[in-house]
Structure 1
Amino acid sequence: MGQNIKLDKIDRKILEILQSNAKITNAQLSKEIGLSPAPTLERVKKLEVSGIIKSYHAKLDTDKIGLGVSTFVYATLKGHNRGNIDVFLEEINKIDEVIECHHVTGSGDFVLKVIAADIAAYQKLMLEKVSDISVVDNLQSMVILSTFKDSKVMPLSGGE
């Protein structure tokens, strides 16, 4: 796994603010953390270069863009070896509707988060793409009925 990078109180405050509002201007950010703009920008760049800040994204309303069905899918492979894992990951990465893929312990080998326009589109995707991956042994789907928490904000308590 990666190494922990030491963050001071100001770095943590920058990260908290950017997680809730990535579009904040450097001038406003500097005002909120109590530094002048130049050192604020320098700290943000350091956090980006170190890989702590990986990217910036717009969070979309899936219903408004016509993606009304979200599911979690447990995928079990025919054999849990490096070759099968590589084949699976190569194929999964070609499927845009698979928006998350996690290698897990437990009853399945992977948990996928899949998004589709509707149940018919989801069924077609599963039948024609996901279950067609040669190393897939079993798939178990769980349709998400409601989401009550969907935060991408990382807790930054602790530290200095």
Structure 2
Amino acid sequence: MKGNIKLDATDKKILEILQKNSNITNAQLAKEIGLSPAPTLERVNKLETTGVIKSYHAVIDPAAVGLGVSTFVMVSLKGHNKDNISKFISAIKSIDEVVECHHITGAGDFILKIVCADIAAYQQLMLEKVSNIEVVDSLQSMVILSTFKDSKSLALPNQQA
């Protein structure tokens, strides 16, 4: 999505509801926002085609599927230039255990969120894949001990018309 799409109160309500439950039926969504099903579906389709809604997915409990270790890893590159950044991003995209990758300011160049089965799997991943990316200079790992908030919902800003 390019630019800032103007959202009215109904669009925001649709987004708030869908962020909480993307499996809601169109009929139930329409009832909750006070419109009939046809215009509700039209609004949802517009939010999808303009890129405001990027995807729908299930949120999985990592521990329930045997993924017991989550970490953040701060990555510094050997040189912060366009070529090195492109090489790093390309390599990271091929590592499934890296669930998030953010280009950042501050002490490092990137921060990764990595989810693995256990410490042994994490160590193997770091030794065999992440640290072997040719443009990586240094890595700083932070193991997540507990998570107290992991919201996937965005607080939508108020927009002036």
TM-score, normalising length: structure 2: 0.97
Percent identity of the aligned residues? 69
Q: Deviation at 1:2?
A: 3.5
Residue 155, structure 1, aligned to residue 155, structure 2:
yes
Aligned to 2:12: 12
* Distance in 1, Cα, partners of 2:7 & 2:126: 43
Alignment length (residue pairs) = 160
CA RMSD in angstroms, aligned pairs only: 1.0
Aligned to 2:92: 92
Aligned to 1:139: 139
The one-letter code sitting in structure 2 at the alignment partner of 1:34 is G
Q: 1:9, 1:159 within 8 Å by CA — same for their partners in 2?
A: no
The one-letter code sitting in structure 2 at the alignment partner of 1:68 is G
Aligned to 1:37: 37
* Distance in 1, Cα, partners of 2:126 & 2:89: 16
Q: Deviation at 1:157?
A: 4.2
Aligned to 1:63: 63
* Distance in 1, Cα, partners of 2:81 & 2:158: 38
Determine helix, strand or coil for the equivalent of 1:6.
coil
Q: Give every structure 1 segment of 4 or more consecutive aligned residues whose post-TM-superposition deviation is greater than 6 Å.
A: none
The one-letter code sitting in structure 2 at the alignment partner of 1:45 is N
* Distance in 2, Cα, partners of 1:128 & 1:145: 24
Aligned to 1:121: 121
* Distance in 2, Cα, partners of 1:35 & 1:92: 44
Unaligned runs of 5+ in 2: none
Determine helix, strand or coil for the equivalent of 1:63.
helix
The one-letter code sitting in structure 2 at the alignment partner of 1:113 is K
TM-score, normalising length: structure 1: 0.98
Q: Deviation at 1:156?
A: 1.5
Unaligned runs of 5+ in 1: none
Q: Using a 3 Å threshold, how does the CA distance of structure 1 residues 134 and 49 change in structure 2: closer, same or farther? A: same
Q: Deviation at 1:159?
A: 2.6
